[in-house]
Chains A and B, each alone.
Chain A
């Protein structure tokens, strides 16, 4: 008797019957309804929580009920499959729920001050009793700082990643990769303090008659420090995904390596690289601490990122949320909504630009 013919105890390799009973959809729905009804009765009856707890209990009861009933009707294997599938869907819904909740909260609370005044004026000379005031200065600050940071981080990051993937060999490349990984874990406040001591206290006095000066550019430098590792790592991953035979196909046509990278490798990896850059941009746009340290947070409008302080949307949210004025929370909510919308618009725009114009799949 060969190995293949041996029967493992408890496992029927060749079942006589290949059909099995299926759990009717109606039963499935009944279990779900019953689970949530019981959950609601328990939670609301004992008054131990609100609808969130009902949802959590309901999901748990549904999974238990489903596995028991399906086990009776369909058998062990099919029941396990069904329960696991339900578990995965539940996890997916639970993962999306907070996101929807955040957006819903932002929109409902942010709409209160979503007006022309908010986008057209700054917080200059706005006192605690003034209902108006806006985030114009903060929007300018965010756009300029993130723009400058992107201009600094993206070329360095993408070229660094190209070095690591296409040229880097041996110890030096390994060291660079290690320190990029270390940089990923640098807390934003550390980046802010670094720029504060290095640039604001150290270098900026040279250009300002010996007095230290906070500026949007300094904030941009701190943000660039934060963006750099993300850009390098994501670009590196994307470049590694470009198949080797594609490079060889280009070399075989007598195309030099630099041109192969520029015209074949980069375009192939472009959509992924843009996604990575946008992740870095989104992270930088949401940073508060570096801007507070390096740019100071000016209440007035300042278009010049190289001279005088600036604010940013994230910093504006932080300041308004902690402000004593009864009008401040509304401004904070609207600024938060604006920040999310801004990042969303930038991401969508970048994705549209990166999509191959004529060869879109």
Chain B
């Protein structure tokens, strides 16, 4: 059920400011793709363009085409909510819903989309929490507030919430940047496990993480502040980190950037 994503000449704007300039890349199903690059280079903007979260901000728009299994998600007759159900997203800071319990958070996507049957919800809650490696830690306190968990647990709860709606693609926007190394490891393990079912795209500032978890890596960069970000190089992770074909990529990876 994982799907292929194809971006061709995607440019994103915030009002009149061009954040990324004509990015093209193809993401194969059931792979992990890492997007790396300096701050402000547009990798998060690109990620948010993939499930149409970019346009939530006032004045934001996009040019070019983004297809998921040959359906352009920016076609005028496309239902945004359907796209977002198909392409889930995990954010930089864990954002469990504060008024909901752990259980309610895990099945929030189903409940808010109209699933009412208790047996279905129970099963989905257990399955998604198990997939997110969180079940054993929370199974005895499912009715406690989701916001009462530790940061790493909250982030895994958000992952559980995302995969509970059975998306095809999971986008992760620096999911570990607010977490300690142990929680980071737990989430990386989880990503390997989820790879069997989902296509994963992750934005990260941690190059070791990109090298560890991803199959392919895209390197974004900007010339100078105010310029749009560009995709400099996109290739197998192995190649990017051992023998990049672009000088800029090599400079960034070896820490000689800027």
A residues within 8 Å of B by Cβ?
Answer: 169, 243, 245-256, 259-260, 263-264, 267-268, 270, 356, 358-359, 361
Whether B113 pairs with A254 at a CB distance below 8 angstroms is: yes
For this complex, 16 residue pairs linking A to B, each with C-beta atoms less than 8 Å apart, are: A245-B91, A246-B97, A249-B91, A249-B95, A249-B96, A250-B108, A251-B53, A252-B51, A252-B84, A253-B84, A254-B113, A255-B112, A264-B99, A268-B99, A356-B99, A359-B145
Known: A169-B58, A245-B95, A267-B99. A253 touches B158 (CB 8 A): no
Which of A249, A256, A356, A361 has the largest count of B CB atoms less than 10 A from its CB? A249
Q: What's the A-B contact tally at a CB cutoff of 8 Å?
A: 77
Whether A254 pairs with B82 at a CB distance below 8 angstroms is: yes
Residue B191 at the chain A interface, CB threshold 8 Å = no
Once the chains are docked, how many angstroms separate the CA of A267 from the CA of B97? 10
Once the chains are docked, how many angstroms separate the CA of A51 from the CA of B205? 68
Smallest Cβ-Cβ distance to A270: which chain B residue: B99
Residue B35 at the chain A interface, CB threshold 8 Å = no
**Can you list, as one digit per residue, whether each of B228-240 has a CB less than 8 Å from chain A (1) or not (0)?**
0000000000000
**Can you list, as one digit per residue, whether each of B156-178 has a CB less than 8 Å from chain A (1) or not (0)?**
00100110010000000000000
**Can you list, as one digit per residue, whether each of B63-88 has a CB less than 8 Å from chain A (1) or not (0)?**
00000000000000000011111101
User: What are the residues of chain A within 8 A of B162 when measuring CB–CB?
Assistant: 252-253
Residue B143 at the chain A interface, CB threshold 8 Å = yes
B residues within 8 Å of A by Cβ?
Answer: 51, 53, 56, 58, 81-86, 88-89, 91, 93, 95-101, 108-109, 112-113, 143-145, 158, 161-162, 165
Q: Which 8 A-B pairs have the closest CB atoms?
A: A254-B85, A253-B109, A252-B89, A267-B99, A254-B84, A245-B95, A249-B95, A255-B112
Whether A253 pairs with B112 at a CB distance below 8 angstroms is: yes
Whether B81 pairs with A256 at a CB distance below 8 angstroms is: yes
User: What are the residues of chain A within 8 A of B84 when measuring CB–CB?
Assistant: 251-254
Q: How many Å from the CB of A245 to the closest CB on chain B?
A: 4
Whether A264 pairs with B58 at a CB distance below 8 angstroms is: no
Whether A255 pairs with B113 at a CB distance below 8 angstroms is: yes
Q: How many Å from the CB of B30 to the closest CB on chain A?
A: 21
Whether B53 pairs with A245 at a CB distance below 8 angstroms is: no
Whether B101 pairs with A358 at a CB distance below 8 angstroms is: yes
Once the chains are docked, how many angstroms separate the CA of A330 from the CA of B86? 70
Whether B99 pairs with A249 at a CB distance below 8 angstroms is: no
Once the chains are docked, how many angstroms separate the CA of A233 from the CA of B93? 29
Once the chains are docked, how many angstroms separate the CA of A252 from the CA of B169? 12
**Contact residue among B83, B91, B95, B112 (Cβ-Cβ distance under 8 Å from A263):** B112
* Majority DSSP secondary structure for residues of A touching B: helix
Smallest Cβ-Cβ distance to A244: which chain B residue: B56
Whether A253 pairs with B99 at a CB distance below 8 angstroms is: no
Smallest Cβ-Cβ distance to A269: which chain B residue: B99
Whether A252 pairs with B112 at a CB distance below 8 angstroms is: no
Known: A248-B53, A252-B162. A358 touches B143 (CB 8 A): yes
Whether B143 pairs with A254 at a CB distance below 8 angstroms is: no
Once the chains are docked, how many angstroms separate the CA of A260 from the CA of B85? 14
**Contact residue among B56, B113, B145 (Cβ-Cβ distance under 8 Å from A361):** B145
Whether A255 pairs with B145 at a CB distance below 8 angstroms is: no
Once the chains are docked, how many angstroms separate the CA of A254 from the CA of B83? 7
Whether A248 pairs with B109 at a CB distance below 8 angstroms is: no
Known: A268-B97, A268-B99, A358-B143. A254 touches B81 (CB 8 A): yes
Whether B95 pairs with A243 at a CB distance below 8 angstroms is: yes
Known: A245-B95, A359-B99. A250 touches B145 (CB 8 A): no
Q: How many Å from the CB of A60 to the closest CB on chain B?
A: 46
User: What are the residues of chain B within 8 A of A169 when measuring CB–CB?
Assistant: 58
Known: A255-B81, A267-B99. A250 touches B93 (CB 8 A): no
Known: A263-B112, A358-B101, A361-B145. A253 touches B95 (CB 8 A): no
**Contact residue among A253, A254, A255, A268 (Cβ-Cβ distance under 8 Å from B98):** A268
Q: How many Å from the CB of B123 to the closest CB on chain A?
A: 18
User: What are the residues of chain A within 8 A of B89 when measuring CB–CB?
Assistant: 248, 252
Once the chains are docked, how many angstroms separate the CA of A169 from the CA of B15? 14
Once the chains are docked, how many angstroms separate the CA of A243 from the CA of B143? 23
Whether A255 pairs with B99 at a CB distance below 8 angstroms is: no
User: What are the residues of chain A within 8 A of B51 when measuring CB–CB?
Assistant: 252
Whether A359 pairs with B109 at a CB distance below 8 angstroms is: no
User: What are the residues of chain B within 8 A of A264 when measuring CB–CB?
Assistant: 97, 99, 112
Known: A169-B58, A358-B143. A250 touches B53 (CB 8 A): no
User: What are the residues of chain B within 8 A of A247 when measuring CB–CB?
Assistant: 56
Whether B88 pairs with A252 at a CB distance below 8 angstroms is: yes
Once the chains are docked, how many angstroms separate the CA of A263 from the CA of B81? 16
User: What are the residues of chain A within 8 A of B109 when measuring CB–CB?
Assistant: 253-255
Once the chains are docked, how many angstroms separate the CA of A227 from the CA of B54? 38
Once the chains are docked, how many angstroms separate the CA of A29 from the CA of B161? 59
User: What are the residues of chain A within 8 A of B113 when measuring CB–CB?
Assistant: 253-255
Q: How many Å from the CB of B96 to the closest CB on chain A?
A: 8
Smallest Cβ-Cβ distance to A253: which chain B residue: B109
Smallest Cβ-Cβ distance to A356: which chain B residue: B99
Smallest Cβ-Cβ distance to B48: which chain A residue: A248
Whether B91 pairs with A248 at a CB distance below 8 angstroms is: yes
Smallest Cβ-Cβ distance to A252: which chain B residue: B89
User: What are the residues of chain B within 8 A of A249 when measuring CB–CB?
Assistant: 91, 95-97, 158, 161
Q: How many Å from the CB of B54 to the closest CB on chain A?
A: 11
